[in-house]
Structure 1
């Protein structure tokens, strides 16, 4: 029946809109880890029926962002530092697979030039936001950057999995970074900003160079989050938090990029 199909489409669209809105609330730090709410509360907030809200919340629970609480509703998932370490490891493995595919198959399945142009534009915006310490803008462009970059290599499953990992990574990092921003008044000098260098390496089909850039990114991110997770309430010791200093010299590619070595990332100054 056309009417029934139309209703299903509307409900599906509404469910996705609610899921996207709640995900954005989590990434903005307005829904904090451990916070509980009911389907009715969200339905009342958005002025919609309970059905699409319940479907949206179940969808976010499947993505690992919410936990279902029996007879009480849902709770924002609380990721631990160990979870974040695992996310970075998984992200690195996926990225290496993408880069290796680029080095081996790109001559036979080249990426359209316009693809890199669009991704580089996202990278420029992400890098600009990172340098300025604008976390909200950075997250939006960073997610788009990695999503579009991974989609260039034709494996939708890897692209979707990497996107989910990156959303979860930001969900863990945001509360710590927000507290750091409040403590210092800004995040300038704290955030990774080498997006365009990564695009340039991939444009050259330099799998080892791309691997080195991402390894340095993950190393910095882990050191920063480890420090922030252990940071005391605002006080004098906040001045000892690490500052991001990019390793602007990417090691030259070896003759066999299929098995790159991970370069040592410089320790940030205390």
Structure 2
């Protein structure tokens, strides 16, 4: 079928990019780690073209840096970078809530709100259990779906990028604690309930408390 090869390559590209992103977030590809297209292609048993395309996608997301004649390096974020991420995502969420109150939430379907609540409950359970790997996946899905209520893909994509970068910085620090039970933020369900009730002020207060908790925890670890 004409074009089927291009579709297959695009799908492979996205699969490799997603798999590598998960490796970076989880810390299995740690900050500063160098690698080549050939190395990744051999690891996944694929040709170099979709790997190169996937790596460029991750560069555009701010997760990798290109090193001339050396390949790629997992980006290293500083504590100052992390504070800037928190500030940026706070501004995005505040703007999202204002828009949501006026437009999106009033039109949000019961099915969409129910899905956000499910993601919130799953993330909260993982956080309370101290299961960092499970939490990361559910947390990213929760915020992605919640941002999706705004019906603006640019907002959703930008917030997702910020949250991924935040996890990349915090995961190695959090793993030093060992037992994470009771240490991780777990008020996802409260936030989802506030959104479902169109209580934007309450939602904003929860997010402010969340950012304060995160900064205090990370400041203590750095």
Residue 75 of structure 1 aligns to a residue whose secondary structure is: strand
Q: Which of 192, 198, 218 is 1:199 aligned to?
A: 192
Residue 180 of structure 1 aligns to a residue whose secondary structure is: coil
Deviations 1:7-63 (A, max 9, x none): 111111111111111111111111000010111000010111111111111110111
Q: Which of 129, 149, 153 is 2:150 aligned to?
A: 153
Whole-angstrom distance in 2 between the partners of 1:33 and 1:105: 40
Provide the residue aligned with 2:164 in structure 1.
167
Whole-angstrom distance in 2 between the partners of 1:220 and 1:27: 20
Q: Which of 204, 208, 217 is 2:201 aligned to?
A: 208
- Does residue 217 of structure 1 match 2:210? yes
State the Cα distance separating 1:106 from its structure 2 match: 5.1
Where structure 1 has 5 or more consecutive residues not aligned to the other structure, the ranges are 230-270
Provide the residue aligned with 1:69 in structure 2.
67
Whole-angstrom distance in 2 between the partners of 1:17 and 1:91: 26
State the Cα distance separating 1:207 from its structure 2 match: 1.0
- Does residue 43 of structure 1 match 2:36? no
**Quick check: 1:127–1:195 contact (8 Å CA) kept in 2?**
yes
Structure with higher helix content: 2
Name the structure, 1 or 2, with higher relative contact order (CA <8 Å, separation 6+): 2
**Quick check: 2:40–2:51 contact (8 Å CA) kept in 1?**
yes
Aligned length: 222
Give the TM-score normalised by the residue count of structure 1.
0.80
Where structure 2 has 5 or more consecutive residues not aligned to the other structure, the ranges are none
State the Cα distance separating 1:104 from its structure 2 match: 2.3
Whole-angstrom distance in 2 between the partners of 1:102 and 1:54: 38
- Does residue 126 of structure 1 match 2:119? no
Provide the residue aligned with 1:12 in structure 2.
10
